[in-house]
Amino acid sequence: MSALIATRALTKRYGSHVTALDDLTLDVEPGIIGLVGPNGAGKSTLLKILLGLLGPTSGSATVMGMDVVSDGAQIRQLVGYLPEHDCLPPDVSATDFVSHMGRMSGLPAAAARERTAEVLRHVGLYEERYRPIGGYSTGMKQRVKLAQAIVHDPKLLLLDEPTNGLDPAGRDEMLDLVHRTGTEFGIATVVASHLLGEIERVCSFLLAIDAGKLLRAAPISSFVEHTGTLGVELEDGADLLAARLV
Ligand code: ADP
């Protein structure tokens, strides 16, 4: 059996100055896998290469044994992708958009309609499914992005910063949904995030990358073992908190 995802000396350069992935070699087995690293670490680039949307500069990668350069179309039939940025048409309903995406992935019309109802219920948008997406909150839009990623019953999900733009309560809901999607549907999932504290709750295995290099690949337990130190992650107000602590 080949690994779910395998890369060998995978390198991606943009132009001659930016090295987004630098000689990356890793093997990923099924589960819920966190891909963690600061902004600019190369997470999105890696996901796009795995989808066959971007070509590597050198090195190679396979997804379920298929080569990302020659078998991109087959890979995309078996993989669901939640892109980082807003990519939803505002004047279309969730039902129409998700079933269209299902058709694009090869589902017959009736099956696409059925699966759309099922996945919109799963993500908690069943009641709102006929409203145009433009009127949705950020959290609802993220859930539409998740629904279109799972409509064709993929074997692997690639989620790029699924909690982007959400408030803490929205993040918790989204992470819970990601966890339920991975476990209830049994879909292997890679979740990219710049917040370790956030994905450690839903992942069983972590890949940490920085500047396109692999820092560590290990079960989550080894990242969060006791050190006698308490880490506090802040989105803003760090100076104020530091001053108060002093
Ligand atoms: P992450 O998803 O971890 O934030 P990215 O893969 O988006 O990281 O980016 C990795 C590096 O590649 C960054 O330095 C980013 O500025 C650069 N980069 C990403 N996309 C492009 C592009 N299309 N053209 C040029 N540079 C890019």
| Nearest Cα residue to atom 7 of ligand 1 | 44
CA of 185 to the centre of ligand 1 (A): 31
38 lines ligand 1 (CB under 6 A): no
14 lines ligand 1 (CB under 6 A): yes
Q: What percent of the chain has pLDDT over 70?
A: 98
Tens digits of residue pLDDT in 87-139: 899 999 999 999 999 999 889 999 999 999 999 999 999 999 999 999 999 99
pLDDT at residue 224 in the model: 66
Pocket probe for ligand 1: among 18, 35, 210, the residue whose CB has the most ligand atoms within 8 Å is: 18
CA distance 110 to 88: 23
- Dihedral sign for Cα atoms in the order 218, 26, 183, 136: positive
CA distance 59 to 74: 20
CB 96: neighbour CB atoms within 10 A? 16
Least confident of 151-155, 176-180, 219-223: 219-223
pLDDT at residue 187 in the model: 95
CA of 161 to the centre of ligand 1 (A): 14
CA distance 200 to 175: 10
CA distance 69 to 55: 6
* Residue 60 backbone dihedrals phi, psi, to 5 degrees: -145, 165
pLDDT-derived band of residue 166, with 50, 70 and 90 as boundaries?
very high
Residue identified by tokens 């290099």 is: 213
pLDDT-derived band of residue 64, with 50, 70 and 90 as boundaries?
very high
